[in-house]
Amino acid sequence: MVSKTEESGLLEELRSLMAEIFHVDADQIGVEAQLGELPQWDSLTHMDLMVALESAFGIEITAETISQLTSLPSIWAYIQSQQHA
Amino acid sequence: MPEHSFSAQAAVPAHLRSQVQAKLAFVDENIAGASISADGSTVSLQLRSMVPKQILGELEAKVQNVVTEMTKGAVPPKIEVLEDHLQRSLPYAIDPMPGLLSSGEVSREHTGIYSLGANLTRLIAVFESYFLELATEFSALPQRFPALISAEKLGRVNYFRAFPHSLTFATHLREDLHVINDFAEHAKYEIEGLNAPPASFSKIQALLSPAVCYHLYFSLADKPLPGGQLAATAVGHCFRYESSNLNTLERMWDFTMREIIFVGPPDFVLQNRERARQQVALYLERLGLAYKVESANDPFFVGEFRRQAAFQNAFQLKYEIRASLPFKHDTLAVGSYNYHQDFFGRHLGITLPDGKPAHTGCVAFGLERLAYAFVCQFGLEPAGWPAHVREAWNG
């Protein structure tokens, strides 16, 4: 069972990581942020983000997954599913 | 030719072998060719001449950097095969180049620069008449684009970062009487090129165009897309320098592409790209061409390769039509179906009626390569070609 505190901690951790990759302030990363909607989240930074996610959260991201993790909610859900698999 | 082999610091996975190998040609001018062993563990370099040990060490370090940069953390691609007709029976399996050269049907002007004779020119016209018919089905507006392309515009779409190795620059003598007179008096071709001092030449404002569709996107830049969507078609020369990878009609420095280009909302671009693929499949079946269509990536340079290629693959942005070359048991890309998402729309400010950036895509055919693959499969004599091709070829 994942507590609300853990969920919100993960969300903040994710926003902070994305802010670092996209070179923006974390408060510019909305909770519904998507590839292409945020100007700094493009094809290049998307791949940087995938690599950073692997090392920060110890998860594996495959070629199939890369095209699914295109929004903050989908990334958040994927990390949760991997960590609690 | 001297050869130097050594162990790769990082083994090159099979799916990257040909792409890493191709990039090694650009590592150093001493390299005339490179190959990577089947297990990816050994790199062999063919050198233009003997080089001192120290230089060899530096060269090896540069090669190791490229290998590591292109392979570290590479995500194995998901190869999606949309069509596979490689097993079609073919009447010919001989290397056509010796015959094409000896008959004068192909004439080599310089490395990567070839002229074609009447037979191949008429064969390309047969393919072109089909592509024009196809373009009409999409109400694609005909366009004419220049061979030169703006350096400023190419910079806007990050081309220099993605494909610096294959650029071909256009320049001219500086507007300076002394420079022009000096050139007129002393210019001559020496072993490796013109002997004019580099300072004689202007700064680069234009390049020879590497692709056809870019011109359309540039013409639509910084304004709303008229009508919210459009299809266009054009044929044009494309220039991609490939160093020692330049090879017969398979890999030319100067080649021609016919493109059908779509600009608009994502559904418009993707649906038309798919519809075009299905139409082309019917045509290739009529031709009897042995080929497959599978996912692919563009030949990005080392620094961008890993990220860009993985992104293209993950989002299935590019599919290549790969025709069989029976004489070498290999395939050659003769066309591609491309989707760029909103890359050009965003970078060039091409907007849809809702204010969002336009999406783009294109269907592209390499005309010389298609003709080459065709004669590889059906021979040089029209008598051996499918009847409807021969009839169209006869006019």
Report the DSSP beta bridge partners of residue B201.
B173
Six-digit token string for B307? 């990220």
Residue A1 has pLDDT above 70, yes or no: no
Check CB contact under 8 Å for A66 and B308: no
Whose CA is closest to B350, among B159, B218, B158, B222? B222
φ/ψ of A77, rounded to 5, equals -65, -40
Q: What is the pTM of this model?
A: 0.91
- Mutation site, A47, A48, A50, interface B, largest B CB count within 10 A: A47
Asked if A63 is an interface residue toward chain B (Cβ–Cβ < 8 A), one would say: yes
* Option in A42, A44, A67 nearest B314 (CB): A67
What amino acid is encoded at B373 in this protein? Answer: A
Interface check for A55 against chain B (CB to CB < 8 A): the answer is no
Residue of chain B nearest A43, judged by CA positions: B311
Contacts (Cβ under 8 Å, ≥6 apart) of B326: B90, B92, B93, B290, B376, B377
d(C-alpha B100, C-alpha B47), whole Å: 29
- The alpha carbon dihedral of A17, B70, B61, B59 has a sign of negative
- Residue B313: Cβ within 10 Å count: 23
Whether A36 has its CB under 8 Å from any CB of chain B: the answer is: yes
Q: Which of B168, B350, B137 is nearest to B252 (CA)?
A: B168
Q: Are strands B106-110 and B254-264 parallel, antiparallel or unpaired?
A: unpaired
Residue contacts between A and B (CB atoms, under 8 Å): 45
CA distance B283 to B281: 5
B48 neighbors B83 (Cβ within 8 angstroms): no
- Cβ distance of A63 and B316 shorter than 8 Å: no
Q: Express each pLDDT in B263-305 by its tens digit.
A: 999 999 999 999 999 999 999 999 999 999 999 998 888 888 8
Residue of A nearest to B316 (CA): A67
* 8 A C-beta contact, residue B129 and residue B365: no
Which residues of chain B from 72 to 91 reach within 8 Å of chain A, CB to CB?
73, 75-78
Q: How confident is the model at residue A40 (pLDDT cuts 50, 70, 90)?
A: confident
Q: Is the distance from CB of B165 to CB of B26 less than 8 angstroms?
A: yes
Please check whether residue B225 is in contact with residue B332, taking contact to mean a CB–CB distance below 8 angstroms. no
Which range (A61-70, B116-125, B322-331, B362-371) has the least confidence?
A: A61-70
Enumerate the residues of chain A whose CB falls inside 8 A of the CB of residue B341. 36, 43
Length of chain A: 85
Task: Please tell me which of the candidates A36, A42, A66 has its beta carbon nearest to residue B310.
Answer: A66
Instruction: List the helix and strand counts (H, then E) for chain B.
Output: 13, 20
Token reading at B96: 């056509």
Looking at residue B296, its amino acid is A
Q: What is the mean pLDDT of residues B131-159?
A: 97
The whole-angstrom distance between A18's CA and the closest CA on chain B is 17
Picking from B314, B341, B343, the nearest residue to A63 by CB comes out as B314
Which of B139, B159, B140, B143 is CA-nearest to residue B151?
A: B159
Spatial distance between the Cα atoms of B106 and B102, rounded to a whole number of angstroms:
8
**A66/B78 CB distance under 8 A:** no
- Write the pLDDT tens digit of every residue in A11-33: 899 999 999 999 999 999 998 99
* CB burial string B85-100: b at 16+ within 10 A, e below: bbeeebebeeebbeeb
Write b or e for each residue in B28-55: b if 16 or more Cβ atoms lie within 10 A of its Cβ, otherwise e. Answer: bebbbbbbbeeebeebebebeeebeeee
Mark yes or no for CB contact B315/A67 under 8 Å.
yes
Give B33's strand partners: B46
Of B17-26, B94-103, B111-120, B131-140, the one with minimum mean pLDDT is B17-26
Q: Do B315 and A48 touch (CB under 8 A)?
A: no
Using the predicted structure, report yes or no on whether residue B373 has a pLDDT greater than 60: yes
Q: What proportion of chain B, given as a percentage, has pLDDT over 90?
A: 89
Which residues of chain A neighbour B342 with C-beta distances below 8 Å? Answer: 36
**Residue in A36, A51, A63 nearest the CB of B313:** A63
Q: B77 vs chain A: nearest CA distance in angstroms?
A: 6
- For B296-318, how does the pLDDT look when each residue is reduced to its tens digit (9 = 90+)? 998 888 888 888 888 888 888 99
